Amino acid sequence: MARDFRTDNRQEENIAKVYLNSKDDFIYIDEKDTSIFDRFAAFLKWLDEKGNEITSKEKELEQLYGKDIITRNDAGEVTDVNVEAFIAFSKFRTETYQEAADQLDKIFGQDTIRKYFRTSYEINPGFTPDDECIYDFLDEITPILNELYSDRAKRISLKYNSNRKGGKRTKFRSKEELIKDHMGK
């Protein structure tokens, strides 16, 4: 009969369950996944670049179609809509926001944005979150990431601290310091 062995693998302890809405939809974040910061930082950079691209696109469309997509009279009532300009700009913005939602799903897991905006997707299955929605999600998830990874940094600091018993400083401590540490005094 073969002998069985089991490691003391406690990887599940490094997984955080983050609830995204009142319906208790959730995602998991692995505290030991260092690539999440790289992907998150790349996303923030991309978002900033897209903001600049949207501004450029607005100017481009303004030159192409004129300044006002919607014309109002003195009473504030809509008198004319430049449909071509409206469609072109709306399409560009919608594609950008859909791309942002897709990128967030790649960072935090499939359907993260769908879970976060569950009610909106239930009302309209074709829902695409706008910039305000994306920033609302970022405002909620950023403090969670900060807390998860600051706790992790503290644990690592304690675990691999050179002052701990058996740490690298052992060679440089005196005999009295070693005995004191060993005795716990």
Token readout for 103 is 């990128």
Residues of the chain with pLDDT > 90, as a percent, come to 41
Burial class (CB in 10 A: 0-12, 13-18, 19+), 132: exposed
Picking from 161, 159, 145, the residue whose alpha carbon sits closest to that of residue 31 is: 145
Residue 29 pLDDT > 80: yes
The answer to whether residue 18 scores a pLDDT higher than 90 is yes
**Which position has the higher pLDDT, 119 or 158?**
119
Which of 18-27, 55-64, 151-160 is predicted least confidently? 151-160
Sequential DSSP letters for 61-124: HHHHH-S-SEEE-TTS-EEEE-HHHHHHHHHHHHHHHHHHHHHHHHHH-TTHHHHHTHHHHHH-
Q: Which residue in the block uniquely carries the two structure tokens 């069985």?
A: 4
Model confidence at 153, pLDDT cuts 50, 70, 90, reads low
For residues 44-83, b (16+ Cβ closer than 10 Å) or e, as one string?
Answer: eeebeebeeebeebeeebeeebeeebeeeeeeeeeeeebe
Does the structure show a pLDDT above 80 at 163?
A: no
First to last CA, the chain: 48
Confidence of residue 74 (pLDDT cuts 50, 70, 90): confident
Mean pLDDT across the stretch 136-165?
Answer: 77
Looking at residue 144, its pLDDT comes to: 92
Convert the pLDDT of each residue in 164-173 to its tens digit. Answer: 555 555 556 6
pLDDT at residue 146 in the model: 87
Q: Is the pTM of this model over 0.85?
A: no
Each residue of 126-136: pLDDT tens digit? 999 999 999 99
Residue with tokens 């691209």: 53
pLDDT at 139 over 80: yes
How many CA atoms within 13 Å lie on the side-chain side of 147?
A: 8
User: pLDDT grade, residue 152 (50/70/90)?
Assistant: low
Can you tell me the distance from the alpha carbon of 119 to that of 39, in angstroms, rounded to the nearest whole number?
Answer: 27
